[in-house]
Amino acid sequence: MARDDGCEIVTTMANQSGRREYDLDIPNDVEPGTYADFASIWHTPDAFVLDFAVVKRPPKSVVNDDGERVTKVPTRVVSRVRVPPSQVFEIMKGLEKQLSMWERSYSKKEKPTEES
């Protein structure tokens, strides 16, 4: 279900059948959102975990325990979200739809660069 502001609302809940529509009530302190530079995604048998993080200070080149030169990026997790496996596909569909809409609107103006 698309909202007036273009946000996608996932309408299928785990272990539920049929279509449901949710009216989201976002508390004032949550409404502005939290900025994150990147996400680390991992899973357990029962959940997918998304750790959203920000970079605390500039990256630094160091030699690790194996004598290999690596770039250390100090970060802080600002939000951890646990999602049941049954919802991951719905989230992926919503992200793909929103990314397509974003590309149509902004990709020629501003496309994020992938850093190596």
Residue 99 lies in a domain: yes
Residue 2 lies in a domain: no
Enclosing domain of residue 81: 38-106
Contact 21, 8 (CB under 8 A): no
What pTM did the predictor assign? 0.68
pLDDT score recorded for residue 18: 76
Residue 13 lies in a domain: no
Q: How far lies 47's CA from each of 42, 76, 80, 85, 87, in Å? A: 9, 21, 12, 6, 10
Residue 7 lies in a domain: no
Residue 20 lies in a domain: no
Residue 74 lies in a domain: yes
Alpha-carbon radius of gyration of the chain? 18
Q: Which token pair is 107?
A: 């990709």
Question: Each residue's pLDDT tens digit in the chain (116 positions)?
Answer: 444 555 555 544 555 567 888 899 999 999 999 999 999 999 999 999 999 999 999 999 999 999 999 999 999 999 999 999 999 999 999 999 999 999 999 887 655 666 54
pLDDT score recorded for residue 1: 45
Residue 100 lies in a domain: yes
